[in-house]
Structure 1
Amino acid sequence: MNVSAVDLAGELKLLRRGRGISAPQLAERAGPALRAVCLIAEDDGNAEIRRKVTECVTRWTPALPDDLRTAVLAAFALHDEARDAFYQERVRWLARSLVRDDRTARRRIDEGIERLAEIAVASTSESGPDSHGSPSTRWHTEELRVALALDQPVPEGFEFRRIVADADDIAELDLAMTLTKSANHGESFDDKDLRVEVFHGGMLAERVMESSDRVGLALRLPVPLHRQGRHEIALRFRADLKEPHFVCVPRHPVDFFDLHVRFPVPVPVEVVQLERVFQDDASDEATRGVLLTPDASGEVHVQFRGLAPGFAYGVRWKPADQGLSGSAN
């Protein structure tokens, strides 16, 4: 069965209800995607399903960032300190653990489950991760450079990326770009809002909507890469961005990220550098970072090293009028 991360995430979100994995009606809740990745047989009873799902979640969660791992384990009632019978009580425990409110705790759980589903699908595919269950072991980005010009009629950027193969026969790169929807105006993202062109390094083989605001891009390489092989690509993107931030949220490790942002006149009243924050918090003014001052050309320049998959790195600004945003993955 070809399992999609979106389908699996939906089934996992149903599984967190009530007693989580300890729920007595587990056989009814285990959908086809979950059964496929956990190798659950049709005649498996609740106890056997519980054992298999627990083993899978325990195997997948070490690949998550610490906070997301805690959120997922608490959601499924697998955390030693969060085994309450009711989901809401486990959410409250997580909120206290994160020193955040319940709403933020729920967002962490949602994000953690979605990342977990990606890890699970990758770990069960032929091109998935190694035996440690860590995602993104097929290739990683050695260097990513982005130049973003917000002073154009339509915001425009160039992305230069050098990737390194961590396995043999890397023929395609799974990339993505997210256009954050405007929470203030209820605007939705349409596939036509993003234009991507390859300047060199491959051909776009597929473009799909992975979620309501994220576009998945499959880039086919000219020739397959062997382990330790390097390859450079250049992309141009233009997008009608919705919120005032631009961040990289890598799905594969990134060794170095260099970002130039050129602002229109008048320049923003505030620019903040964001490093290792949750993607949902990138637009939250309560999430603070280093204050940046645009230079005489209206530009800021930031650099990051050792980017961890699932976290956001970039800048947020406060324009005089309604601003713009986006993210690269």
Structure 2
Amino acid sequence: MTTHATLVRELKTLRKGRGVHAGRIVDRVGTALAAACGITRADGPAAVRQKLVSRLTELIEQLPEDLHFAARAAFGLVPDVRHPLYQERVNWVAAAIDRDSRTVRRRVDEAVDQLAELAATTTPRDAAGWHTAELSVAVVLDQGQPEVLERYQVVIDGDGVDKLEFASVFPVRRRDVDVHLLYGGTLQDRSSAVERPGFTLLPAEPLTRGDTHDFAIRYRLSNRDAMHPCVLHVPERPCEVFDLRVRFEHDRKRLVRTFDGVLQRSDAEPSGTQHAVDRAGEIHLRFRRLLPGLLYGARWGGSVLCSARRAS
């Protein structure tokens, strides 16, 4: 049985009875769900319950909005709904949203399937140390030296975070680009022979849980040929919003292929959606609730460095 299938089965077991408020909660959590929630054998019932509630709440936030309410109620995460049976909570949601119980059960099943996928492919925020609230990228291609501006707003999920590691969202050889930190700390270059410059940002002071931190990087490329025709972001940690703007040379007929959460495969090119630039020669894309390991961004020409296999 695959990890996804195992997680689906274990989540359906957990939602029975009182959900996360069930007695003997340690016995209700399967091995795959425990791993996804960071639960260890040393954790007692209170710690197990706390980790379950925290991780499920975090994952449910990443679901489509129409599934939030049903999913939270199904697992007993709505404070006012502590019914002892799963079906009673389903009936309560059905009455609250004026739908029949079959519709609610379908929504819960859809939520469980997506939660299993999220649990298998994402890292708990506490373990990651920080996550990205918003990454805004502006690419300017209508001048002799292309420029890229990356602005980050990150949220700290642990205590004592004194460095943030990240890489550029576009492929370029380090010797072909001038990098300048506009604000947010001190920048250390950790690029080697890789196709994307990598950096470590050192904030002025260590950051603690709940802090937000902003920083911005400007890249100025040596010439037009140095800019490969793509911005492809494969996040290593959760990202709530990725805002991308690309300005071309008033090429109104240009078509751009965009990727919104595409699974990378080594044996095939990723599927995407065609978009036309606007009358000003620009394209503006906004991606939400990005998942680690999936592909987001745009490609406007052919390049081996713009393949999905190289995007990360």
Q: CA deviation at 1:201?
A: 0.6
| Conserved 8 A contact 2:255-2:277 | no
Structure in which a larger fraction of residues adopt strand: 1
Q: CA deviation at 1:241?
A: 3.9
Q: Quick check: 264-273 or 307-316, which moved more? A: 264-273
Matching of residues 209-228 of structure 1 within 5 Å: 209=192, 211-228=193-210
- 2:142 pairs, out of 151, 156, 165, with 151
State TM-score, norm by structure 2. Answer: 0.53
| Conserved 8 A contact 1:244-1:323 | no
CA RMSD in angstroms comes to: 3.8
Name the structure 2 match of 1:270.
255
Structure 1 alignment gaps of length 5 or more = 1-58, 63-115, 120-128, 181-188
Larger radius of gyration: 2
Name the structure 2 match of 1:202.
185
Instruction: Summarize the Cα distance change of 1:231–1:168 in structure 2 as closer, same or farther, 3 Å threshold.
Output: same
Cα distance between partner residues in 2 of 1:199 and 1:264: 26
Cα distance between partner residues in 2 of 1:198 and 1:142: 19
Give the AA of the match of 1:274: F
- 1:294 pairs, out of 277, 286, 290, with 277
Instruction: Summarize the Cα distance change of 1:179–1:247 in structure 2 as closer, same or farther, 3 Å threshold.
Output: closer
| Conserved 8 A contact 2:141-2:246 | yes
State TM-score, norm by structure 1. Answer: 0.50
Structure in which a larger fraction of residues adopt helix: 2
Give the AA of the match of 1:301: H
Q: Secondary structure at the match of 2:191?
A: strand
- 1:259-306 Cα distance to aligned partner (Å, 9 max, x none): 11101243563212111225678xx7x533222121111000011111
Instruction: Summarize the Cα distance change of 1:291–1:157 in structure 2 as closer, same or farther, 3 Å threshold.
Output: same
Matching of residues 1-329 of structure 1 within 5 Å: 137-177=128-168, 179-180=170-171, 190-209=173-192, 211-239=193-221, 241=226, 243-267=228-252, 269-278=254-263, 286-318=269-301
Cα distance between partner residues in 2 of 1:149 and 1:173: 26
Give the AA of the match of 1:309: P
Identity %: 34
Instruction: Summarize the Cα distance change of 1:165–1:324 in structure 2 as closer, same or farther, 3 Å threshold.
Output: same
Number of residue equivalences: 194
Structure 2 alignment gaps of length 5 or more = 1-34, 39-120
- 1:49-85 Cα distance to aligned partner (Å, 9 max, x none): xxxxxxxxxx79x9xxxxxxxxxxxxxxxxxxxxxxx
| Conserved 8 A contact 1:136-1:253 | no
Cα distance between partner residues in 2 of 1:280 and 1:306: 21
Cα distance between partner residues in 2 of 1:262 and 1:238: 15
| Conserved 8 A contact 1:242-1:324 | no
| Conserved 8 A contact 1:199-1:236 | yes
Q: Secondary structure at the match of 1:192?
A: helix
| Conserved 8 A contact 1:272-1:292 | yes
| Conserved 8 A contact 1:149-1:155 | yes
